[in-house]
């Protein structure tokens, strides 16, 4: 099977670094939308339509994530880019982490005035876990920023990566005169009253081309020549294999707002970013050229369309050619489902997909049969692994205001844990259930959805536990340990044994005393 070209990627950044702006400009440049501002407007409209998403409005953040697609023909080949949006707020990171399991590469946006920020670092760690290659975009060079060398060194030191500057800003802020591309010798300069990039490109033979003096100020020219030489000499040169292996990051300087570096970024993604990669799976990894369809669910979203109380499961296609109406078998239930109305998320509208290829994301409407972590396949002979559940950092006891609603509560907690909104733990002793989340916002979402969708009023009380670990080991060892520590034992939604710990210290202590057991902070599904 010949597989059409795909680049499936996400943008990782700290809030305010410019992810939304860059997304908008990538889509604009890629021809997917025609008016800047549409991404946000569309988001706002969508949010206004759904009740529980009011939280997003109240907190001014984006909880929903979606998929945007654009394409470009490069060297005679049409490449489709699938951009998976990740919620940027640090509170809701579990969702973001899972989204990163569905991409083949990432673009890391850094604010030139701020450098690496906490959220950038966290997201980077997730990419590193999976060797996701990263292209760095240092944004906002149209404003006063930090010294470009200091920024490069910070990326190299903080993230332990080789950095390779691919372009260079001629000044920043008030002295900004353009961006020079080392590989092509092109200088892009600002024009017009907004000092944005409006297509003024000049071709040079290199930074030593004397004609550069004609288009730059004396100071700008000197900056480019001296800094450019140092930049090219002092850092690693671009090495495709090292980049794809996650050891080296090519660095582009630009301004999303003023359109500098955006076309270059698309170009870099098209030329260097990996096409769909092999996915870890049992009994053996899934390669994209495998003829039968396989994919996995990395996200489930409820209430996107309040007219229908359906959920949309987002599946990343890993192999085979998907056709509408196809029967696929979810690893969770084992019962084949016919996928009659899959959705491809194009930039503006949801479009009904007829076919999709490895690297594509399709939305599958369902009534709760599909769960995060499920593999879908034609033959049910494979399980894609590596989609983590993270040990919760906040645990709360759920107490009902109306004790007759126990059944509804259990159903709601099961549903919401299937969607991946929360994790739920059923303790061995005592009737009060415990929910676990990675960030506070998940708890707000929980309470609001319990009320709105399940008519259950609940309060969250402090729990004596601080964290949870999945237990691994022989059945006999687990049983012996559970017998001694009954008040700390619980089962998760899937019946796995979980140790609820009062502190991280407690986990270490137990691990030392029980070397044959494994106390895992992530559960791979
Ligand atoms: P997000 O939180 O990462 O999605 O960031 P946004 O895209 O919403 O950008 C945050 C702020 O930075 C907004 O006010 C943007 O207009 C501004 N911004 C984004 N990119 C640039 C840029 O290249 N230059 C300048 N000067 N401002 C920018």
Query: What secondary structure does DSSP assign to 220-237, as a single string?
Result: HHHHHHHHHHHHHHHSPP
Provide the phi-psi class of 17: left if phi over 0, else alpha when psi is between -120 and 50, else beta: alpha
Task: Tell me what the mean pLDDT of segment 159-164 comes to.
Answer: 94
Instruction: Say what the pLDDT of residue 32 is.
Output: 60
CA of 194 to the centre of ligand 1 (A): 15
Which of the four pLDDT bands, split at 50, 70 and 90, describes residue 525? low
* CA-nearest residue, atom 9 of ligand 1: 18
Nearest residue to 63 (alpha-carbon basis) of 73, 74, 52: 52
Instruction: Say what the pLDDT of residue 103 is.
Output: 96
Instruction: Say what the pLDDT of residue 57 is.
Output: 45
Instruction: Say what the pLDDT of residue 46 is.
Output: 41
Q: Does position 62 have pLDDT exceeding 60, yes or no?
A: no
**ipTM value of the model?**
0.99
Q: Where are the beta strands (DSSP E) in 433-520?
A: 434-437, 458-462, 467-472, 489-492, 497-501, 518-520
Nearest residue to 108 (alpha-carbon basis) of 130, 137, 85: 137
Distance CA 63, CA 95 (A): 9
> 281-384 in CATH: which number?
3.40.50.300
Beta bridge partners of 136: 108, 251
Instruction: Say what the pLDDT of residue 89 is.
Output: 55
* CA-nearest residue, atom 18 of ligand 1: 18
Average pLDDT for the chain: 86
CA of 40 to the centre of ligand 1 (A): 12
Instruction: Say what the pLDDT of residue 60 is.
Output: 36
Q: Does position 212 have pLDDT exceeding 60, yes or no?
A: yes
Q: Which sign does the torsion angle of CA 63, 99, 70, 384 carry?
A: negative
* Residue 183 marked as a ligand binder: no
Q: Which of 16, 65, 109, 264 to mutate to test the pocket of ligand 1 (most atoms within 8 A of CB)?
A: 16
Task: Tell me what the mean pLDDT of segment 241-253 comes to.
Answer: 97
* Residue 16 marked as a ligand binder: yes
pLDDT in tens, 106-141: 999 999 999 999 888 878 888 887 889 999 999 999
Task: Tell me what the mean pLDDT of segment 71-80 comes to.
Answer: 88
Query: How much of the chain exceeds pLDDT 90, in percent?
Result: 56
* Residue 87 marked as a ligand binder: yes
Two tokens, residue 301: 């979203």
Q: Does position 221 have pLDDT exceeding 70, yes or no?
A: yes
Could you tell me the fold of the domain covering 388-524?
Alpha-Beta Plaits (3.30.70)
Domain ranges within the chain, ordered by starting residue: 11-64+105-271, 281-384, 388-524
Two tokens, residue 120: 């950038």
CA of 10 to the centre of ligand 1 (A): 17
* CA-nearest residue, atom 11 of ligand 1: 16
Instruction: Say what the pLDDT of residue 41 is.
Output: 42
Q: Where are the beta strands (DSSP E) in 308-360?
A: 311-319, 322-323, 327-330, 337-338, 343-345, 350-352, 355-356
Which pTM does this prediction carry? 0.80
CA end-to-end span of the chain, whole Å? Answer: 29
Q: Does position 48 have pLDDT exceeding 50, yes or no?
A: no
More confident residue, 58 or 452: 452
CA dist 63 → 72, 134, 185, 243, 442 (Å): 29, 23, 41, 30, 10
Residues with CB under 6 Å of ligand 1 are 13, 15-21, 88, 139-140, 142-143, 255-258
Query: In this structure, how many other beta carbons lie within 10 angstroms of the beta carbon of residue 157?
Result: 11
Distance CA 42, CA 33 (A): 11
Distance CA 64, CA 443 (A): 16
Q: Would the CATH topology of 11-64+105-271 be identical to that of 281-384?
A: yes
Distance CA 149, CA 163 (A): 11
* Residue 85 marked as a ligand binder: yes
pLDDT in tens, 273-332: 999 999 999 899 999 999 999 999 998 876 555 555 567 888 999 999 999 899 999 987
Q: Which of 257, 258, 259 to mutate to test the pocket of ligand 1 (most atoms within 8 A of CB)?
A: 257
Which of the four pLDDT bands, split at 50, 70 and 90, describes residue 352? low
CA of 245 to the centre of ligand 1 (A): 30
CA of 17 to the centre of ligand 1 (A): 6
Task: Tell me what the mean pLDDT of segment 339-361 comes to.
Answer: 72
Distance CA 117, CA 157 (A): 13
Q: Which of 15, 19, 21, 112 to mutate to test the pocket of ligand 1 (most atoms within 8 A of CB)?
A: 21
pLDDT in tens, 370-403: 888 889 999 988 999 877 666 778 899 999 888 8
Query: In this structure, how many other beta carbons lie within 10 angstroms of the beta carbon of residue 233?
Result: 8
CA of 256 to the centre of ligand 1 (A): 7
Two tokens, residue 201: 């490109």
CA of 15 to the centre of ligand 1 (A): 9
Options 3.30.479.30, 3.40.50.300, 3.90.550.10, 3.30.360.10; CATH for 11-64+105-271 is 3.40.50.300
Distance CA 429, CA 306 (A): 39
């Amino acid at each position: 099977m010949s597989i059409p070209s795909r680049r499936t990627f996400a943008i990782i950044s700290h809030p305010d670094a410019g992810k939304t702006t860059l997304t908008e400009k990538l889509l604009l440049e890629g021809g997917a939308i025609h008016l800047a501002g549409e991404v946000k407007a569309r988001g706002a409209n969508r949010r206004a339509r759904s009740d529980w998403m009011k939280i997003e409005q109240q907190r001014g953040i984006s909880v929903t994530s979606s998929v945007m697609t654009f394409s470009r023909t490069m060297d005679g080949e049409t490449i489709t880019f699938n951009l998976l949006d990740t919620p940027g707020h640090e509170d809701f990171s579990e969702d973001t982490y899972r989204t990163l399991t569905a991409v083949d590469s990432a673009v890391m946006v850094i604010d030139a005035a701020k450098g690496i920020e906490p959220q950038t670092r966290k997201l980077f760690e997730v990419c590193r876990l999976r060797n996701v290659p990263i292209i760095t975009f240092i944004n906002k060079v149209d404003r006063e920023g930090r010294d470009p060398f200091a920024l490069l060194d910070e990326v190299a030191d903080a993230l332990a990566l080789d950095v390779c500057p691919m372009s260079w800003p001629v000044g920043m802020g008030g002295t900004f005169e353009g961006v020079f591309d080392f590989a092509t010798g092109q200088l892009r300069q600002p024009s017009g009253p907004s000092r944005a990039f409006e297509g003024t490109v000049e071709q040079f033979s290199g930074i030593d081309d004397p004609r550069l003096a004609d288009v730059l100020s004396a100071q700008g020219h000197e900056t480019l020549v001296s800094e450019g030489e140092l930049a090219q000499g002092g850092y690693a040169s671009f090495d495709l294999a090292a980049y794809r292996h996650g050891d080296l990051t090519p660095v582009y300087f630009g301004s999303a707002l003023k359109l500098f570096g955006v076309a270059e970024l698309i170009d870099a993604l098209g030329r260097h970013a990996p096409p769909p990669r092999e996915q870890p799976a049992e009994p053996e990894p899934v390669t994209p050229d495998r003829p039968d369809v396989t994919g996995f669910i990395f996200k489930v979203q409820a209430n996107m369309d309040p007219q229908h109380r359906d959920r949309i499961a987002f599946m990343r296609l890993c192999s085979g050619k998907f056709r509408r109406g196809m029967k696929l078998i979810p690893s969770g239930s084992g019962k084949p489902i016919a996928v009659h109305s899959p959705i491809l998320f194009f930039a503006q509208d949801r479009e009904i997909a007829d076919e999709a290829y490895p690297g594509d994301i399709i939305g599958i409407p369902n009534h709760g049969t599909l769960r995060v972590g499920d593999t879908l396949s034609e033959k049910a002979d494979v399980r894609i692994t590596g989609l983590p559940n993270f040990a919760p950092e906040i645990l709360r006891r759920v107490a009902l205001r109306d004790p007759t609603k126990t059944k509804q509560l259990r159903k709601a907690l099961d549903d919401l844990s299937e969607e991946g909104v929360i994790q739920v733990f059923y303790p061995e002793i005592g009737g009060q259930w415990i929910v676990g989340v990675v960030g506070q916002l998940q708890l707000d979402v929980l309470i609001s959805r319990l009320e709105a969708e399940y008519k259950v009023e609940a309060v969250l009380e402090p729990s004596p536990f601080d964290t949870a670990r999945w237990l691994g080991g022989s059945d006999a060892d687990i049983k012996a340990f559970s017998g001694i520590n009954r008040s700390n034992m619980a089962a998760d939604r899937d019946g796995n044994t979980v140790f609820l710990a009062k502190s991280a210290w407690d986990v270490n202590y137990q691990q030392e005393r029980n070397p044959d057991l494994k106390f895992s902070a992530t559960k791979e599904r």
